Chains A and B, each alone.
Chain A
Amino acid sequence: MRRLGWTNGLLLLPALAWLGVLFVYPIGRLFYTSLFTPAFSLRHYAKILGTPVYAKVFANTFEISVTVTLLALVLGYPLAFLLAAAGRRASGLMLAAIILPLWTSVLVRTYAWMVLLGRRGIVNEGLQSLGVLDAPLPLLYNRLGVTIGMVHVLLPFMVLPIYSVMKGIDVELLRAAQNLGANRRQAFLRVYLPLSLPGLVTGVLLVFVTALGFFVTPALLGGRGDMMIAMLIDTQISQLLDWGLGSALAVVLFAVTAGILLVVQRFTSAERMWVRVP
């Protein structure tokens, strides 16, 4: 890569200052608060390690986030493909349908699921009146409810980056592959999928990292076993006012997440072997 000249470096300055003030500084404060409340000690971290409930909630958080990410990928990848392949008007319409919900508050979308999935909700009442069900299905206030709600909220973050990459893939390449003897499956797996991989990785990371910090949806749609770490952090920060413990929990979440991202990044740099970036 060409080295950035110092004028180009100047162009970076506003963004760096912005990130410094709004990202680096607060995170630094978080570290500081987790260690120096009230005076320097590791006791908040010791508490997190020594109390099983925190490990359990971290495990919950990662379990839920992984499930949600995988489901969003399974739903989002074909959707993005459809979007990229569709004509201009159809794709415009579909894009609007995907983006519009992003402008609605998460709270509203979460309440909408309560109306749909409740014991007396539309789904259960409908299936019961059709005679499919005798008793309402437990669709809410359990892991299923959380998963449905979170996938719904996060799906656009999966679809949009994949779509933006797919849009740039020349479909003729698929035809060329088939022309050279690849069957459809091979053409997809060896040509299209690797080319769309950057979008897929971005989507997966965006959805996964956002899911880790989820708070409203699990609190409202979950059951007693679906506690996520952001809920505990909120309790410590804004109700119990134990900022030391709250910050330490946030730091642990931050560190684990950053660790995962680093691993993924190292792993996915392998994609360069397949994709020749023009």
Chain B
Amino acid sequence: MTSMTRRYVLKMGVLTAAATAATQAGGPWLARAQAKQLVVCSWGGAYQEAQRKTMFQPFEKETGIKIVEASPTDYGKLKAMVQSGNVEWDLVDVGDLNVIAGAKDNLLEPLDYQMIDTKSVFPQVVHKYGIGTIYYSTILAYSTKKYAKGDHPKSWAQFWDVKKFPGPRTMRNNPLDNLEFALLADDVAIDKVYPMDVDRAFRSMDRIKPHVNVWWTTGAQPAQLLADGEVELATSWNGRIFAIQKQGARAGLEWNQGKLQWDSWVIPRGSKNRDGAMKFIAWSTQPKPQAAIANEIPYGPVNQKAFEFIGAQAAKDMPTAPDNARRQLMVDPVWWGENRNVLVERWNAWLLK
């Protein structure tokens, strides 16, 4: 290479590095100088907007503790912060699996249950290192343009039945959810799904694989694909379908055989405002804030008493509404915690085959 070209390459490299550094600087630590603030990291989008309106702002007003928001949740970043001792987040909204994984990796502070009233909180979301924020579901979603409500597939066996229910499909590019659905499609009873017969699940996945046009990687995709008419059947998180329905998209969702899961609040080990984080957790887990967020976005409250403050229509759209919850599968985060890494590898190999 001539020296001219080499210089050019070098220059481009440095430019890129500089741009990256510039975008990474100026994070929450800029605002960190003020005392007593609480840095909360969540998933962004409509969900974090709802949290802001129904939780962050009212909490700020009530306690005077200023909340600084960050997003999106990134487990790699969380781990890097704890390991480098530079913990920028005081409170993080994570998926149920990551409470267990985080505890195992010693990344989290134990919660102080002296401070939290858990009397009416669903016991399954109460963990030494995290407590539920909301419930959500992965459900079967469909285009109402193609399938009139009532004539749509109502189980995974029907989702798998491409003769009776033709049309392009999308599923998540992840063994999570899909392996459970594959077993349900193969007529495994809903209470016998865990511990999973993984070989059977992959055999069942073999049957649907040629009919899946898109393997989605981000939560926005399945809703987008349905709204665009790119696919007619999908697996999706329930809130996303609700969001596009509100925008007028012709999409519907089926609660039957959905998979109920939850998000949790965790406090990274070494948080600079552990006390404030605990106060927020104690406050936000109570019935009224739980009802407020559920009225705003159709994710289910983790506090049973919240239903007393939720409108009748909103209650029907909750993943945890008794009528909806009864027909769904409840995730087993412990099983996944033990098997996930191996299954992701197997999933990738299976996908490439």
Chain A residue, CB-CB nearest to B224? A114
CB <8 Å contact, A202 and B79: no
* In the complex, per-residue mask of A262-278: 1 if CB is within 8 Å of any chain B CB, else 0: 00010011011001010
Find A241's partner among B1, B79, B349 (CB 8 Å cutoff): B79
Is B115 an interface residue, CB under 8 A from the partner? Answer: no
- Chain B hits for A198, CB < 8 A: 1-2, 4-5
Find B1's partner among A15, A157, A232, A265 (CB 8 Å cutoff): A265
* In the complex, per-residue mask of B88-122: 1 if CB is within 8 Å of any chain A CB, else 0: 00000000000001000100000000000000000
Chain A residue, CB-CB nearest to B8? A202
Kindly specify which of A18-26, A83-91, A173-181 makes contact with the partner chain.
Answer: A18-26
Give the complex CA separation of A51 and B168 in angstroms: 32
Give the complex CA separation of A60 and B351 in angstroms: 13
- Chain B hits for A60, CB < 8 A: 352
CB <8 Å contact, B1 and A269: yes
Give the complex CA separation of A115 and B225 in angstroms: 10
Give the complex CA separation of A51 and B352 in angstroms: 13
CB <8 Å contact, A120 and B229: yes
Give the complex CA separation of A120 and B2 in angstroms: 48
Is B17 an interface residue, CB under 8 A from the partner? Answer: yes
Kindly specify which of A61-69, A185-193, A217-225 makes contact with the partner chain.
Answer: A217-225
Is A56 an interface residue, CB under 8 A from the partner? Answer: yes
- Chain A hits for B229, CB < 8 A: 118-120
Is A76 an interface residue, CB under 8 A from the partner? Answer: no
Find B228's partner among A1, A120, A271 (CB 8 Å cutoff): A120
Also in contact, A23 and B12, with CB within 8 A (given A56-B352, A239-B75): no
A-B interface, 6 closest residue pairs, ranked by CB to CB distance from nearest: A238-B76, A53-B349, A120-B229, A198-B5, A224-B351, A202-B5
- Chain A hits for B76, CB < 8 A: 237-239, 241
Is A201 an interface residue, CB under 8 A from the partner? Answer: yes
Chain A residue, CB-CB nearest to B101? A241
CB <8 Å contact, A223 and B9: no
Kindly specify which of B50-58, B307-315, B338-346 makes contact with the partner chain.
Answer: B338-346
CB <8 Å contact, A18 and B1: no
How distant is B83 from chain A, measured CB to nearest CB, in Å?
Answer: 9
Give the complex CA separation of A101 and B223 in angstroms: 27
Find B217's partner among A18, A219, A242 (CB 8 Å cutoff): A219
Is A95 an interface residue, CB under 8 A from the partner? Answer: no
Give the complex CA separation of A272 and B351 in angstroms: 47
Chain B residues at the A interface, C-beta cutoff of 8 Å: 1-5, 8-9, 12-14, 17, 21, 74-77, 79, 101, 105, 168, 173, 209, 212-215, 217-218, 221, 224, 228-230, 340-341, 344-345, 348-349, 351-352
* In the complex, per-residue mask of A123-140: 1 if CB is within 8 Å of any chain B CB, else 0: 000000000000000001
Chain A residue, CB-CB nearest to B341? A240
Give the complex CA separation of A20 and B225 in angstroms: 44
Which residues 160-174 in A have Cβ within 8 Å of B in the complex? 161, 164
Give the complex CA separation of A23 and B17 in angstroms: 8
Also in contact, A119 and B230, with CB within 8 A (given A56-B352, A141-B214): yes
Find B348's partner among A164, A227, A277 (CB 8 Å cutoff): A227
Which residues 19-65 in A have Cβ within 8 Å of B in the complex? 19, 22-23, 51-53, 56-57, 60
Give the complex CA separation of A238 and B77 in angstroms: 7
- 30 A–B contact pairs at CB < 8 A? A1-B3, A18-B17, A23-B17, A51-B349, A53-B348, A57-B348, A57-B352, A60-B352, A114-B228, A118-B228, A118-B230, A120-B228, A120-B230, A161-B8, A198-B1, A198-B4, A198-B5, A199-B5, A202-B1, A220-B218, A224-B352, A227-B351, A227-B352, A232-B348, A238-B74, A240-B340, A240-B344, A241-B75, A265-B1, A269-B1
CB <8 Å contact, B349 and A22: no
Find B349's partner among A52, A114, A205 (CB 8 Å cutoff): A52
Is A98 an interface residue, CB under 8 A from the partner? Answer: no
